[in-house]
Amino acid sequence: MALARMGTFLLWAAVLAGSALGRERTPIGDGEAALAGAVQGLAEFLPISSSAHLLLLRELTRGGETPTADRKEALWHFDLLLQLASACAVFAAYPRRTGQLCRGIAGRSREGLRLLGLLLLAFLPAALAGALLDLLRWHPSPGLRALGWPLLLGGAYLLAFEHIFRQRGRRELAELDGRDALFIGAAQTLALFPGVSRSLMSLTAALARGLCPSAAVEFTFFLGGGTIGAAAGHRFFAGGLSTLATFSGKSVAIGCGCAFLCAIPSLFILNHLLRNCTLRPFAYYRILLGLAILAIYC
């Protein structure tokens, strides 16, 4: 796990550097940044919607304050940066697969190059859908009350999925083909709607195609990491970096460090549950949380 240790060292080095260089004009405190990073990291790879949990966290900690439009935009880009940090945990948690992909890019691994091609193919539906939404200027950012139904329905979907696909498939990652990749990628596009969960849709799609749990986890998480990275790069080049400039370097470093470190155990939690052939705890949790939000905020 040398890559994981290196990633952890670099992130905590960023925290120390941010402490020394950060400015005091931040609209988010260090404690709030750390808590948001921890919530994002723990929820990113679990099928419970990290965006919904960040929105719930902001609702519970804002103290009745209504954020301005500029603050909302800055927090949105800050959350995107937290997603990017948590996505990096995949590459640290799976160093052998990461190395294979790197060798594939360098032309030294046929299997790595094949897997990279499948990941790009699976990414295509989300890229096209995102481009279409940008063209239509539709960027959903609902209030908390609008997330109750997606959480509730997602939980019901997960229970139905567990009933239909009780027996997990046995196909390995080497058996994945282009049709499988497109199917998984098309399912992932549903996560463009807040509260749905990228992990929920892509993971269940991979399992439905007969992949074994370990293969499904690896492919969908590497796909999610690439998707988040592409989305973050696009948003930041489109002006997100200017909004992040309102935060101190210390807060950004603390939030990203917590997101990265907390994402790693969530990967192992999901792997453990999949080995025991159940995703029901997440289904029950989504249903209870959705009902609570509908009861309190609607």
Amino acid identity of residue 204, one-letter, is T
Count CA atoms closer than 13 A to 198's CA, side-chain side. Answer: 24
Counted domains in the chain: 1
pLDDT at 22: 41
pLDDT at 12: 46
Please give the helix or strand (H or E) that residue 119 lies within, else none.
Answer: helix 110-136
pLDDT at 238: 64
Helix (H) and strand (E) counts for the chain? Answer: 13, 0
CB-based contacts of 223, cutoff 8 Å, min separation 6: 119, 122, 123, 184, 185, 188, 202
CA distance 199 to 62: 28
Calculate the alpha carbon distances from 215 to 94, 176, 272 in Å: 12, 9, 14
pLDDT at 8: 46
Q: Report pTM.
A: 0.85
The per-residue pLDDT string of the chain (298 residues; one tens digit each, 9 = 90 and over) reads: 444 444 444 444 444 444 443 444 446 788 889 999 999 999 988 999 988 898 888 888 765 566 676 777 778 778 888 888 888 888 888 999 999 999 999 989 999 999 999 999 999 999 899 888 778 776 665 677 788 999 999 999 999 999 998 788 889 999 999 999 999 999 999 988 888 999 999 999 999 999 999 899 999 989 988 888 787 777 766 655 665 667 777 888 899 999 999 998 888 888 888 877 789 999 999 999 999 999 987 7
pLDDT at 241: 61
Q: Could you list the residue range(s) of the whole structural domain that residue 67 is in?
A: 2-137+146-297
